[in-house]
C-alpha cells in the first residue's frame, strides 16, 4: 500500500496533479450546477405571479 | 444542427440528454482513474507517466473548447444565430479552467522529468496564450454593456485567437522543444503501450463528455438568465 502511495519516489508530483485536477473539476461541476439552480429559481419566481 | 439553433428548442432537446451525458462522463472518468492508477511505472518516466492521464486530456479538452468557442463565434457573426453567441460565451470559463489544468499538471510533470516547472518554448508559450485568450474573451464580454455589441466584439477576438490553435498543435514540430511530439494520433499508429493507451483514452473521453455536460448546463443557464432579464424589463416598462 505504502509502495503504491510512494509512486516510485514521485509522490510529490503525481498526487498534487491528481489533487488539483479533482479540485478543479469538482469546483467546475459545483459552480455550474449552482448557477443553473439559481437561474431556474429566479425564473420560476418571476413566472408564478 | 441549425434546427437546434433556437433557445427554446435547445432547452427541450438537451433536457433528456443531460443525465446520459453526465452518467457517461462519470463512468469514463471512473474507469480511466482506476486503470490509470493501477498502470505500471513507465521504463523511462517511472510513475510520473500517471500525470499523462490528467495532463493530455486536459490539454486536448482545452483546445477542443476553444475550437468550439471559435466555431460558435463564427456562426454568431455570420448567421446571427441567437444560440451561437450564448454557446460561445458559455464555453469560455470552462475552456479557461481546462487550460489552467493543462498548465498546472504540465508543470508538475515537467519538474521531475525536465528539471523545470516551466520553459518558454513554443508549446508552453502558445498554450499560456490560450489561457489569456479565454480570459480576454471573458473580460471583453464583461466590459461591453450592450449584449449585441459585446457578442460581436468577443466573436471577433475569438476568431483572431483561433490562429493560435494550429500554432499549439504544430509547435512541437516547428521549434526545438523539451515537450514531446505527437505520440498518439500519428501515421503508423500510437507510440504508447496499450496499458497506458486505455486509461489515457478513457480519461480523454471522460474529460470530453464532462466538458459537453457542463457546457450544455451553462448554455441552459444563460438562456434562462436572458429570459429572466427580458421578464424584468417587460415588468419595469
Q: What is the ipTM of this complex?
A: 0.93
User: Which pLDDT band holds residue B1 (cuts at 50, 70, 90)?
Assistant: low
pLDDT of residue B3: 56
Is B105 within 8 Å of A32 when comparing Cβ atoms?
no
- Residues forming a β-bridge with B42: B46
Provide mean pLDDT across the span B164-192.
80
How far apart are the C-alpha atoms of B51 and A3, rounded to whole Å? 17
How far apart are the C-alpha atoms of B18 and A16, rounded to whole Å? 31
Q: Which three cell numbers stand for residue A18?
A: 491528481
- For residue A8, list chain B residues with Cβ-Cβ distance below 8 A: 41, 46-47
pLDDT of residue B66: 98
- Distance in Å, alpha carbon of B55 to nearest chain A alpha carbon: 8
Specify whether the CB–CB gap between B65 and B98 falls below 8 A: yes
B interface test, pick of A6, A28, A43 with most B CB neighbours within 10 Å: A28
Is A33 within 8 Å of B220 when comparing Cβ atoms?
no
B220 touches chain A (CB under 8 A): yes
pLDDT of residue B107: 96
Provide mean pLDDT across the span B33-62.
93
Give backbone dihedrals phi and psi of B180, rounded to 5 degrees, phi first.
Answer: -70, 155
pLDDT of residue B237: 66
Q: Which three cell numbers stand for residue B107?
A: 508543470
A9 touches chain B (CB under 8 A): yes
B48 touches chain A (CB under 8 A): yes
**Cα–Cα distances in angstroms (integers) from residue B69 to residues B8, B66, B73, B133, B145, in the given order:** 21, 5, 6, 11, 21
How far apart are the C-alpha atoms of B137 and B158, rounded to whole Å? 7
How far apart are the C-alpha atoms of B175 and B137, rounded to whole Å? 28
In degrees, rounded to 5, the angle at the alpha carbon of residue B86 between the alpha carbons of residues B80 and B88 is 90
- Distance in Å, alpha carbon of A40 to nearest chain B alpha carbon: 7
Helix axes B82-114, B122-143, angle to 10 degrees: 150
- Distance in Å, alpha carbon of A7 to nearest chain B alpha carbon: 5
User: Which pLDDT band holds residue B132 (cuts at 50, 70, 90)?
Assistant: very high
Ordered by start, the domain boundaries in chain B are: 22-37+47-176+191-236
Each of the 49 residues of chain A gets a pLDDT tens digit; together they read 577 788 888 999 999 999 999 999 999 999 999 999 999 999 999 987 6
pLDDT of residue A7: 87
Provide mean pLDDT across the span B43-58.
93
What percentage of chain A carries pLDDT values higher than 90?
Answer: 71
Specify whether the CB–CB gap between B90 and B222 falls below 8 A: yes
pLDDT of residue B160: 96
Is A25 within 8 Å of B210 when comparing Cβ atoms?
yes
Amino acid at each position: 500500500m505504502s509502495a503504491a502511495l510512494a509512486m516510485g519516489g514521485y509522490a510529490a508530483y503525481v498526487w498534487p496533479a491528481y489533487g488539483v485536477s479533482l479540485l478543479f473539476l469538482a469546483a467546475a461541476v459545483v459552480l455550474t450546477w449552482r448557477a443553473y439552480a439559481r437561474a431556474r429559481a429566479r425564473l420560476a419566481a418571476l413566472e408564478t405571479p | 444542427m441549425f434546427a437546434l439553433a433556437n433557445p427554446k428548442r435547445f432547452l427541450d432537446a438537451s433536457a433528456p440528454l443531460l443525465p446520459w451525458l453526465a452518467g457517461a462522463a462519470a463512468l469514463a472518468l471512473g474507469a480511466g482513474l482506476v486503470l490509470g492508477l493501477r498502470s505500471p511505472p513507465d521504463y523511462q518516466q517511472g510513475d510520473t507517466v500517471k500525470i499523462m492521464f490528467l495532463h493530455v486530456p486536459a490539454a486536448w479538452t482545452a483546445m477542443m473548447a476553444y475550437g468550439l468557442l471559435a466555431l460558435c463565434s463564427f456562426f454568431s457573426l455570420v448567421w446571427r444565430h441567437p444560440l451561437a453567441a450564448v454557446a460561445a460565451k458559455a464555453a469560455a470559463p470552462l475552456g479557461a479552467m481546462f487550460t489552467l489544468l493543462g498548465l498546472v499538471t504540465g508543470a508538475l510533470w515537467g519538474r521531475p522529468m525536465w528539471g523545470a516547472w516551466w520553459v518558454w518554448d513554443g508549446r508552453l508559450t502558445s498554450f499560456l496564450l490560450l489561457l489569456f485568450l479565454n480570459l480576454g474573451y471573458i473580460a471583453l464580454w464583461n466590459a461591453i454593456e450592450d449584449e449585441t455589441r459585446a457578442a460581436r466584439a468577443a466573436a471577433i477576438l475569438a476568431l483572431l485567437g483561433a490562429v493560435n490553435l494550429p500554432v499549439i498543435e504544430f509547435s512541437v514540430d516547428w521549434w526545438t522543444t523539451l515537450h514531446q511530439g505527437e505520440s498518439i494520433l500519428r501515421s503508423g499508429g500510437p507510440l504508447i503501450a496499450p496499458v497506458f493507451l486505455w486509461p489515457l483514452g478513457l480519461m480523454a473521453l471522460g474529460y470530453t463528455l464532462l466538458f459537453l455536460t457542463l457546457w450544455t448546463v451553462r448554455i441552459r443557464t444563460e438562456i434562462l438568465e436572458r429570459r429572466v432579464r427580458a421578464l424584468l424589463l417587460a415588468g419595469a416598462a
